Amino acid sequence: MPTDPIERLLRGLYSVALYLLAPITVYHLIWRGLRQPAYFQRWQERYALYGDRPPMRTLWVHAVSVGEVNAAVPLVNALRRARPDLRLLVTTITPTGSERVHAAWGDAVEHVYVPYDLPGAVARFLAHFRPHAALIMETELWPSLLFGCRDHGIPAVILNARLSERSLRGYRVLAPLVARALRTVRTVAAQSHADGERFIRLGARPEQVLEVGNLKFDVAVPDHLAEFAAQCRRCAGARPVWIAASTHEDEEPAVIAIHRRLRAQFPDLLLLWAPRHPERFRIVADAARAAGWSVSTRSRQQWPGAGDAVFVVDTLGELMSFYACADVAFVGGSLQAIGGHNLLEPAATGTAIVTGPHLHNFVEIAQRLEDAGALRVVPDADGVRGALAELLADAQARERMTTAGRALVETGRGALARTMELLQPLLPAPAGQ
């Protein structure tokens, strides 16, 4: 238990505030459930109420949503290969993250939602799953969770750790508490030197922080990628293809407008459209039909037909494969202040990349890709249209971009090996040793 009186005071105030606000979590789940029905399910996990389920010893990986789960895929796969004797628990916050976990590993790993940061819920969660270690992906700094790990003797590490200037400012209100919670962590394995410096500014001790690199560079290209892309091309016919990937609601009208103008220049152009959130799958398909286009979907038709103008990728876990089917990719979350999404996946599959200007979650990666000539960053939707039009018309420019992107991904690999080496002292000895 903490002996620092300031820590006790701060934790007490934080806990009282959270318990007073706890009823709002119910309203939040209802509000989200009206848009995504999966939020109506499994509420007991969000309060760490597990009924008669027997407690189990696990190695715990926490990943907020789809992006963090994707970053964790190489790590979890490596842990499964190296230590098949360990039971793995992967937690998320969002149902989309839960679906991605299931798509990646099925029943091979345990999944529950991480509980709200209420001290009682955290204590029940840790007592039930009894983690050997807490492997927290990227930027999840929940004070009760981190303090709880320390109080239960569970070593916690932050892996693939990133912290933007924007996020750093966001922690300002709780900085005294978050700084103390951060100092309970065994190691902050930062993606870059700049990320590590920001964690130190937030309160981490310099000796806690290691620059390990970005696990996203260790992305595994799907098996049989060439065969997948060839099958898609055979069904769609020989014509230009672009993909709008990980788009958000406010970007959808722009995608419709861009595709309409591009088809005036390339009449047989096909759009592969992969919205970020599953609740948007049907909505974007309906919007494309309302625009007057023939639309097919992955879940129904499997492949785009020769007469389709739009093909909606309404499945999870296949985005990288569909990147390989496109000549050019627009990566969403970048025309509105979301902060962008993973740019290394299209680079690894050999697709030219265009984004909008909002890339604060991927500043370093975007800069490296842009400097290498593998990425075009434009200021607005009209800039996206112009860049796509130029690249669709210029196969040599696309080839230069894809060659540069693949080379950058290859040179950036290595964070996975360094992370696995870092984790070795935290893992229990194999059974029988």
Residue positions annotated with a catalytic role: 68
Both tokens assigned to 390: 């130029």
Q: How far apart are CA 55 and CA 408, in angstroms?
A: 44
Q: How far apart are CA 229 and CA 322, in angstroms?
A: 7
Report which of 219, 233, 222 is spatially closest to residue 325, judged by C-alpha positions: 233
Q: How far apart are CA 78 and CA 80, in angstroms?
A: 5
Give me the residues paired with residue 156 across strands.
134
Residue type, 222: P
Give me the residues paired with residue 352 across strands.
328
Q: How far apart are CA 368 and CA 255, in angstroms?
A: 26
Angle at 372 between CA 371 and CA 375, to 5 degrees: 80
Cα dihedral: 378, 383, 387, 390 (round 10): -150
Angle at 131 between CA 432 and CA 183, to 5 degrees: 125
